[in-house]
Amino acid sequence: MSKFSSLFLDFQKHLDKEQGVVDGIKAIVSDLDSTARQIVITLQVIHQGDHKKIEACSSARVQFEDVRKKFVTLAGSFPLCDFYRYHDIWKYSTQRLCYCAALIVWLEVGILISRETAASILGIADKESDGVFHLDIEDFLMGLLELSSELARYAVNSVTHGDYSTPMQISHFISDLSAGFRLLNLKNDALRRRFDVLKYDVKKIEEVVYDLSVRNLIPKPQSD
């Protein structure tokens, strides 16, 4: 065998090893996606009426136990110094799970989830450092933007079920969220495009609130 052939055979071994790592990661992410879909389905029952949200959040938090186990397996499937080399494989799964975590927190206590809390629910580190599997900040932000669309839909369905206070709560929240994103200088094309959708979510919720207002259905603040 010539040195030339031997050299390229070594290249092929390297490529085969690399493909093995990628295939292993994809298999784990496939399982992660399956669990994420189940969590999304679990949370969809909130659109059937407000009385469903406590049960939905509780069930979803139980399902996140499986998510944390899968992230542990994922973190052990490749050298963590290569985090961003493979990050594209699981980023969409992480974004969806961040959205689910953000929705749970909003439904439970009506506040914006922090990056630290989201990372804790997912079972990964909240900050980037060498050799650590962590929650990428852009994945977290994409999850928040996905939350806005879900809450816009929730506002409409709340009115359908005769709940006129929830749309007002959502309106204030989404307005604050939009104001927060406007403070960012978004250079990432995907984030910037997704932020454009947030503008339509704000408009959609404003239309719901306006309709309630002209119908005189907005709950009056209770006096002390």
Read off the pLDDT band of 10 (50, 70, 90): confident
Round to the nearest angstrom and report the end-to-end CA distance of the chain.
91
Q: What is the pLDDT of residues 173-211, one digit of tens each?
A: 999 999 999 999 887 688 888 998 998 999 999 999 999
170, 101, 89, 192: which is closest to 140 by C-alpha?
101
Domain extent at residue 44: 1-129
pLDDT, one tens digit per residue, over 106-133 is 999 999 999 999 999 999 999 887 668 9
- Chain centroid to Cα 67, Å, comes to 13
- We report the CATH number of the domain holding residue 142 as 1.20.58.200
35 and 16 co-located in one domain: yes
Q: Identify whether residues 45 and 92 lie together within a single domain.
A: yes
Same-domain status, 140 and 95: no
CATH number, domain at 30? 1.20.58.190
Compute φ and ψ for 134, nearest 5 degrees.
-135, 175
Query: What mean pLDDT do residues 54-72 have?
Result: 96
Q: Do 106 and 178 sit in the same domain of this protein?
A: no
Statement to judge: residues 106 and 148 lie in one domain: no
Cα–Cα distance, 42 to 80 (Å, whole number)? 32
Asked whether residue 98 falls in the same domain as residue 141, the answer is: no
pLDDT of 38: 97
Residue 197, number of CB atoms within 10 A of its CB: 14
Question: What local confidence, expressed as pLDDT, does residue 174 receive?
Answer: 95
Share of the chain above pLDDT 70, in %: 96
Q: Is the pLDDT of residue 224 over 50?
A: no
- For residues 85 and 2, membership in a common domain is answered with yes
CA distances from 57 to 45, 100, 105, 195, 201 (A): 10, 10, 8, 26, 23
Are both 147 and 92 inside the same structural domain? no
In terms of domains, do 36 and 116 share one? yes
Q: Is the pLDDT of residue 221 over 70?
A: no
Per-residue pLDDT at 18: 82
- Are 189 and 110 in the same domain? no
Give the pLDDT mean for 54-76.
96
Is the per-residue pLDDT at 223 higher than 60?
Answer: no
User: Considering its fold, how many domains does the chain have in total?
Assistant: 2
Phi-psi region for residue 162, left (φ > 0), alpha (ψ -120 to 50) or beta? left
Please tell me the predicted confidence (pLDDT) of residue 125: 94
Asked if residue 158 and residue 87 are part of one domain, the reply reads: no
Could you say which of 102, 129, 156 is where a domain stops? Answer: 129
Q: Are residues 215 and 169 in the same domain?
A: yes
Distance CA 41, CA 147 (A): 15
**Closest listed residue to residue 47, CA positions, set 211, 158, 175, 159:** 158
Judging by beta carbons within 10 Å of its beta carbon (0-12, 13-18, 19+), is residue 148 exposed, middle or buried?
Answer: buried
